[in-house]
Amino acid sequence: MSSKKRILYISQEVSPFLKSSEISKNVKTLAQKTQESGKEIRVFMPRYGLVNERRNQLHEVIRLSGMNMIINDVDHPLIIKVASIPSAKMQVYFIDNEEYFKRKAIVKDEKGKLFEDNVQRSVFFIRGTLETVKKLGWIPDVIHCHGWMTSLLPLYLKTYFKDDPHYANTKVVSSLYEDAFEGELNDNIEDVLKFDGVDESFMSHIKNGSDYLNLTKTAIDHSDGIVLFSDNIDSEIIDYVNDAEADSLKFVNSEQHHEDCSNFYDEILEKEPKLAE
């Protein structure tokens, strides 16, 4: 077995497959730099309808596809696709499902309204990624989450997957960006989580509403580490990070920040896992 540390990146956006953004650019650069530092990486994102499959040469990975996942009592087929980023010498895996990701948008409709099934889409993406990584037989030392669509992953890792030996020693790191959304996600978020066996005691923030602030606080509560990737993050979130038990890496507006992240993984791995409370 390889002695290299393994880092799983799960992001709602990755460059160059979508229009360039703070998140998509950072994930590509960070994954590339981490790989160049000697660590093994895997990168996952949703296969939105905006991703041009022909131009980006996506192809289905038959051996990984074929699973079905039940989200809030509805059965959904899971399709896995992959594409390469030659300039970065790395691959990106795509979580695909026709109902959730065929639409030509990421999280909002043409009128700027959040999709009513964003919670289900997020959970499908999170669980689909973790199940696919298991099928790959690849055990990550650290899972690094990017974008609010991944904000429930730390909770799922510490509850839904808590007895899964594949992730027994995996740490989770959440990155915070200036990516807040207005309003709330659909009001059935508690039903979706309860269906997956998540106890109400883990929903203290979400019970106050499924807005960006409560989702972010939930991610922080169940993460082993927090990385700030913007200097314009909501002050209430910054205060919450400062009071949290998780270690944090402050934002540095330079390429050094990506190197600091790689070292931050090593620091996190030296500590005992943060358990769900």
pLDDT digits 0-9 by tens, 171-189: 999 999 998 888 888 778 9
CATH number at residue 185: 3.40.50.2000
Give the pLDDT confidence score for residue 2 in this predicted structure.
Answer: 57
In this prediction, what percent of the chain has a pLDDT beyond 70?
Answer: 97
CA angle 55, 11, 35 (to 5 degrees): 85
For range 124-139, the mean pLDDT: 97
**φ, ψ dihedrals at 169, nearest 5°:** -115, 15
The Cα 59–Cα 158 span in angstroms is: 32
Strand partners, 94: 45, 81
The verdict on residue 72 lying in a domain is no
The Cα 161–Cα 168 span in angstroms is: 9
Q: How many domains does the chain have?
A: 1
The verdict on residue 277 lying in a domain is no
Confidence check: pLDDT of 275 > 90: no
Confidence check: pLDDT of 158 > 50: yes
The verdict on residue 247 lying in a domain is yes
Banded pLDDT at 1 (limits 50, 70, 90):
very low
The verdict on residue 75 lying in a domain is no
The verdict on residue 139 lying in a domain is yes
Give the pLDDT confidence score for residue 276 in this predicted structure.
Answer: 52
The verdict on residue 12 lying in a domain is yes
The verdict on residue 52 lying in a domain is no
Q: In this structure, are residues 24 and 13 in contact, taking their beta carbons and an 8 Å threshold?
A: yes
Range of the domain at 263: 6-45+105-269
Banded pLDDT at 82 (limits 50, 70, 90):
very high
pLDDT tens per residue, range 97-112: 999 999 998 988 888 8
Confidence check: pLDDT of 277 > 80: no
pTM, rounded to two decimals? 0.95
Highest average pLDDT, of 101-110, 221-230, 255-264, comes from 221-230
Give the pLDDT confidence score for residue 202 in this predicted structure.
Answer: 92
First to last CA, the chain: 33
Confidence check: pLDDT of 254 > 80: no
Average pLDDT, the chain: 92
Residue 85 parent element (H or E): strand 79-85
The verdict on residue 80 lying in a domain is no
Give the pLDDT confidence score for residue 185 in this predicted structure.
Answer: 86
Banded pLDDT at 273 (limits 50, 70, 90):
low
Strands 171-176 and 40-46: unpaired
Confidence check: pLDDT of 266 > 80: yes
